[in-house]
Chains A and B, each alone.
Chain A
Amino acid sequence: MNPLPYIVAAWLFIIGLYGIVTSRNFIHLIMCLAVLQSSTYVFLLAIGYRIGGGPPVFATVPVGTPAVDPIVQALLLTDIVVEATVVALLLALAIEIHKNLGTMNPDEVVELQG
């Protein structure tokens, strides 16, 4: 059990990278990028976990109870929202490429124009 979360995170990273390299459609590529980003979330949360700990919210429990690490969670929750807007920017770029070149295949967009 011990290194299983890290192995799953590494596997998701590699499989996302494989999807990006062998993609034939820009939108498929951006979704594989989302899978790649989620591998870092799994990795960070696995680092912060403590066995027997509860969530780092002390509204109903007294302050001494063991809790998991709050810093990685703070890092992740802003990261997830920012990922959504960055994906929107990438989709806008894909739409522009399609409007100008008529193709959604990364292999056909080979030369820089202008």
Chain B
Amino acid sequence: MSRRVRQSLFIVSALALFGVLISAAREMPAFGHFYGAYGELLNRETVYERHVTDVVTAVNFDWRGIDTLGEESILFLAVIGATLLLRRQASEAGKSNNDDSRDDENKTRNVPLPSAATRVATLGLVGPLVVFGLYIVTHGHLTPGGGFQGGVVLATAPLLVYLAGDLKTFKKIISHVLVEAGEALGVGGFLLLGLPGMIIGGAYLRNVLAQGTTGNLFSGGMIPLINLCTGMAVAAGLISVIYAFLEHTLELRLQGKK
């Protein structure tokens, strides 16, 4: 069917759907008065049973750890898919180099180096950003944070090196073999940390280590360990994806500078 017919059909059905959603919204419990028994129970019991103070991280990695394992495998597969689709074939590499280098030389040679202020500011902030990302990852069970958020902060730290114009160091950082190894170790570590629970006769991903005292860094049993694995997996995954997008551009700009 043509585009017009498709759009008019869509607008009619969208209005109908909107009407249904509005009438459903009017029958929901009033905003702010929803009583969820499971949430109330977890808020009351988590600090006493697991000795952690951040209930959301405990729900993610302990009470509903198996759901987080599913989400992390989605992340892993999406990263594999994106890097697989964007890798350069060997035949394509030889062909496009000859075509691109003639005309891209004009473009790549005219890119100026960033100013001194930019370079000082960005290179000076790389260290604090890495420390901040590690802080968010490791203190995830005490304050808001955790493996997912801290992993994303860590993954954006090498970009400051790219912004400073230091392309060689940037390429060395993000194409290092430890990035791929880190992602595999993160997801594999999460999988293996569930096994001690099964070995002692309980359920998979059961919290088997000693709980420690509330408020300390080493509390919560296995929650900090799973946190670290997740942080590693998320950071390495996002760096791999960024490298897959930037690989071709980086090589051309590095060749243009020689």
Contacts and interface: CB of A to CB of B under 8 A. Distances in A.
Is A in direct contact with B (CB under 8 Å) within the complex?
yes
Interface in B9-27: 10-11, 14, 17-18, 21-22, 24-26
A14 B25 CA distance: 14
B3 A82 contact: no
B28 interface: yes
Interface stretch (B49-57, B161-169, B196-204): B49-57
B14 A18 contact: yes
Contact of A71 (B44, B59, B68, B75): B59
B174 interface: no
A64 B47 CA distance: 11
A13 B142 contact: no
A22 B14 CA distance: 13
A109 interface: no
A88 B32 contact: no
B115 interface: no
Interface stretch (B77-85, B124-132, B221-229): B77-85
A17 B36 contact: no
A18 B26 CA distance: 23
B212 interface: no
Listed residue (A10, A18, A81) with the most chain B CB atoms within 10 angstroms of its CB: A81
Interface residues of B, number: 62
A72 B143 CA distance: 18
Interface string A18-42: 1001100000000000000000000
B148 interface: yes
A93 B85 contact: yes
Contacts of B34: 47-50, 69
A74 B85 contact: no
A3 B68 contact: no
Given A1-B31, A55-B144, A10 B25 contact: yes
A10 B209 CA distance: 44
B26 to A, nearest CB: 6
A59 to B, nearest CB: 4
Contact of A59 (B79, B142, B244): B142
Interface stretch (B99-107, B185-193, B233-241): B233-241
B6 A13 contact: no
A112 interface: no
Contacts of A18: 10-11, 14
Nearest to B79: A85
A56 B149 CA distance: 17
